[in-house]
Amino acid sequence: MYFSIVSTIFIVSLPIFTHGVPVSIGQQDSAIVGRNERASASTKLTIIKAAHPTGEHIVVVKDIKHLDEVMKLVPATMHKSLSKLAIIKGFAGKFTPEILDKFLSNPNVERVSQDGYMDYDSVSVQSNAPWNLVRLNIKGPILQSTPTEYKYDATAGSCADVYVIDSGINIHHDEFKHGAATRAHWGATFGEYPAGTENTDQDGHGTAMAGIIAGTTHGVAKLANVYAVKIGGKRPADKNSEDPTRANVKKAIQGLNWVMERAKENPGRRPIISMSIGTDNHLDFDKAVRAVIAQGIPVVASAGNGKENKETKEYEGVDASVRSPAHLESVITVGAINRHNVRLYRSNFGKVVDLYAPGEDVATASAVDNSASASSTGTSPAAAHVAGLVAVLSCHPHVGATVANPAAMHAKVIALSDQSKFNMNLGQVAIKADSHKRVAHLPAEIPA
């Protein structure tokens, strides 16, 4: 059984804003700055550097039994400011050079890394463009003769809890209402924010992603629950800002840890993590992502929106292998295409990108008020589509049991994908021959 939504498709020409900052719009992909190397003359560790450091450091121990012992190297007066990161056997905080030196010399410490700022991978403007759901249903580009229908199974992700690790969600938006109740919930907040904004989405990015995942009108999985896991606030205008409300690796790891523990307490639900965020390759972040996947939770992540061309000031896609968590093999990594079946020029690409999904002028929910809509562009909305697709598959009566673990789900998403060729829109950018050319596909009738 399926429902269908019939809508008129409008082709809207909108500017794409490419300015932004790490906690705002993730477009600062670059090679990892440092490596965890041991000095040749001793066994002393060196600090792994981040491209955009926050001023804090993450310390990981070799064995969890030594965690408290290593934490005692920090004066007792500073313990309240430490953030324990059990998921990676570590902790984070702001340390003096003397304390850092103690960590680096301690045989029980595996590594010490700079915490780094993270990125949101899209730009939002007001618009209304429902083409994206149509494209998910069909194979090939949208034509004038293409029916404007989005067909979906009646279960529509009803057994799924999608954890949106992002800027928060406007949980009161009409898009998430289900009768007298709501399918959007506030999960957890990590970091400090201005009074009264802790449990709100001040940026709008998280609300936009949740609307694509599970909105009643704009969403893929129209009966799924979405949970806000807030790790960042409103994007600052200065991309080099050290605003403490910006998303960073430490808060992302805390969010992953919270999801893992909550999923254990709700075994009857199907948990999914949606991460339309990213940063330069980061070992600690990767370790945390692998941990939740090992527990059986699929992770969908955006491929990233490339880096700025210093001459043209435009953002150009790069190989996503430089980005966490996108480069992880066990993560479902998603790039972006437009309605004409062309890769967005800013979308990252490469072998680690599993497939592409609609990512330009995508209509969704706005955090401005409880009925407003917005448009989102980038690899963020592309990943949100696939997170919704995963929710639908998780609850499908004929498919759900066969995709009960992340590896099986990953394989199913790829097996369903539209593998007809599309325009990679490379320009002068070189691309590896093994880059995948798959587009996310959710047919009305899903084969077992």
Q: Which residues are catalytic?
A: 166, 205, 380
Of residues 71, 28, 73, the one with CA closest to residue 53: 28
**One-character DSSP codes across 225-242:** EEEEEE---SPPSSTT--
Interatomic CA distance for residues 164 and 276, integer angstroms: 8
Residue 5, judged by CB atoms within 10 A of its CB (0-12, 13-18, 19+), counts as: middle
> Which amino acid makes up residue 338?
N
**Cβ neighbours of residue 215 closer than 8 Å, sequence gap 6 or more:** 175, 176, 222, 364, 365
Interatomic CA distance for residues 85 and 363, integer angstroms: 36
Instruction: Tell me the three state secondary structure of residue 216.
Output: coil
Neighbours of 311 (CB within 10 A): 6
Interatomic CA distance for residues 276 and 388, integer angstroms: 13
Of residues 48, 56, 63, 54, the one with CA closest to residue 112: 48
Structure tokens at 55: 């001023």
